[in-house]
Structure 1
């Protein structure tokens, strides 16, 4: 599935991933291939990207929203930066 992380200053991530773990406003949740359509609020926290087996990337995000539709995950947040 395709993941994009967008902020007011531009795109901070774009690529094919196996899944993503998001800090929802009512708790953390994961989105995997063929997930049902979804729109949800996000709180500030860590977003974990499952890039491939045994390889993950972490991003620190500020609050925003996520939309899941047709194997595309679009994360719209106020700010995002990779965690080293």
Structure 2
């Protein structure tokens, strides 16, 4: 019997390789155009990513989930590469630190809205999205 086709997944950030798995059966990411599921032999694709979880399923109901903060994916020949601003596995997320970042971002966002400071407002919105992404991934079952 032939071996089951799988994906080789790699997530790279400015700090280096954050995740690698050679046996992924399904990858699910959120692109700027919507959710994208990739299985072996999927057509080639390049897409920009949202600040959102990335889920990789493999083996007997096993999966890894990471908080991915922007970037893009490239897929071809059963190799999926994610180049992200940052990526953090669920088990390495410091929930208290993420909650503090959320509170800081909310405070900065409110202050920027009152001052009509769109640049600061945009940065605070991104910081808030990143904090919420980390909190959501950490609390996922």
Would you say same fold, with TM above 0.5?
A: yes
Deviation at 1:53, TM superposition (A): 3.0
1:26-74 superposed Cα distances (whole Å, 9 cap, x missing partner): 2111110001011001010100011223101110010010000111000
Q: Which runs of 4+ in 1 moved over 2 A?
A: none
2:60 aligned with 1:41: no
- After superposition, the CA RMSD in angstroms is 0.9
Aligned residues: 84
Determine if the alignment matches structure 1 residue 77 to structure 2 residue 94.
no
For 1:10, the equivalent position in structure 2 comes to 16
3-state SS of 1:78 partner: coil
More helix by share: 2
Q: Which segments of 5 or more consecutive residues in structure 2 lack a partner in the other structure?
A: 1-6, 92-141
What is the correspondence of 1:53-64 to structure 2 with a 5 Å cutoff? 53-64=60-71
What is the TM-score with the length of structure 1 in the denominator?
Answer: 0.94
Calculate the TM-score normalised by the size of structure 2.
0.58
- For 1:6 and 1:50, the matched residues in 2 are separated by 19
Unaligned runs of 5+ residues in structure 1 are none
Instruction: Say which one has the larger Rg.
Output: 2
Query: Which is strand-richer, 1 or 2?
Result: 1
